[in-house]
Structure 1
Amino acid sequence: MKGKNACVLQDFAPIFVLAVSYINSLSYFVYEASLWQQKNLQHHPQKSSAARKAAPVKKSGEASKTSATAAPAKRTSNAAFMKPVTPTAILAAVIGDKPMPRTEVTKKIWDYIKRNDLQDKNNRRMINADEKLKPVFGGKDQVSMFEMTKLVSAQLK
């Protein structure tokens, strides 16, 4: 039995040597990393927690006012978007001639595009012009969504 075990251990001796050298090299890298970290901290010291600016302390009365009675602020609309604009006669053929906010103009144009299935099948960012939209698009057969907003803005007063 002793002869067989000794033979097996001899066969694994190169593997043990490789494992030990691997562990040594790994511990060397860990040692180098810790040295680098210490050196880096010496050159770039971080502020201590006492040196950091402390948050202002609220009085007990202020805390109860803001948390208990404050309702969530209602979002207000931007006045520039809500200002009514008048479409030109060319654009009025698509969305109507009444003055309306820019947001409504965009909504009505997209309703028209979807209702008439004018988005390109392969590239959904492209809009195909029909006979009503062609004058709005400056005679082009197809424009991108981003170019469309630019061309529509030119048709508003």
Structure 2
Amino acid sequence: MSRVLGGARALMAAAKASAASSSPAPAEAAAAVAKPKSSAFTKPMPLSPAMRKFVGVPEISRPEAVKKVWEHIKAHNLQDPANKKLIHCDEKLKAIFGGKETVGMLEIAKLISSHFLKSK
């Protein structure tokens, strides 16, 4: 039995040695992971005046804009307590949602898409 285990130990040691020599250094691996892929979806785009006033910057990516809208909704407690999918708009949200009193949470991305201007 010791011959079997001894052979397995030798194989494991060889496998560990080859894995250590072929894998990148931890700093290199972290650098490779830290760089997110850039896409058109995450690219900052110019905003309409109403959206610019709401977020406070002239350009922002779509996910960041949705995040800012949700921060505003949570900060001002605008979700309907009975139906969390329903958002009651205050004056700031009405300005970017076309004057609607209430909005469904799944509509938010669609409604803010018109505020992203095409860059030339």
TM-score (norm 1): 0.52
Closer, same or farther: CA 103–68 of 1 in aligned 2, 3 Å: closer
- What CA distance in whole angstroms lies between the structure 1 residues aligned with 2:111 and 2:89? 12
- The Cα of 1:130 is off from its aligned counterpart by 1.2
The alignment-based identity, stated in percent, is 36
Q: Which of these residues, 100, 103, 127, is aligned with residue 63 of structure 2?
A: 103
Q: What SS class does the counterpart of residue 82 from structure 1 fall into?
A: coil
Structure having greater relative contact order (Cα 8 Å, sep ≥ 6): 2
- The Cα of 1:95 is off from its aligned counterpart by 1.2
After superposition, the C-alpha distances for 1:12-40 in whole angstroms (9 at most, x for unaligned) are xxxxxxxxxxxxxxxxxxxxxxxxxxxxx
Taking only aligned residues, the RMSD between alpha carbons, in angstroms, comes to 2.5
**Could you tell me whether the CA contact under 8 Å between 2:78 and 2:89 is conserved in 1?**
yes
Q: Number of aligned pairs?
A: 99
Closer, same or farther: CA 77–67 of 1 in aligned 2, 3 Å: closer
- What CA distance in whole angstroms lies between the structure 2 residues aligned with 1:63 and 1:108? 44
**Does 2:35 match 1:76?**
yes
TM-score (norm 2): 0.65
| 2:92 alignment counterpart | 132
Amino acid at match of 1:138: G
Bigger mean CA deviation after superposition, 67-76 or 90-99: 67-76
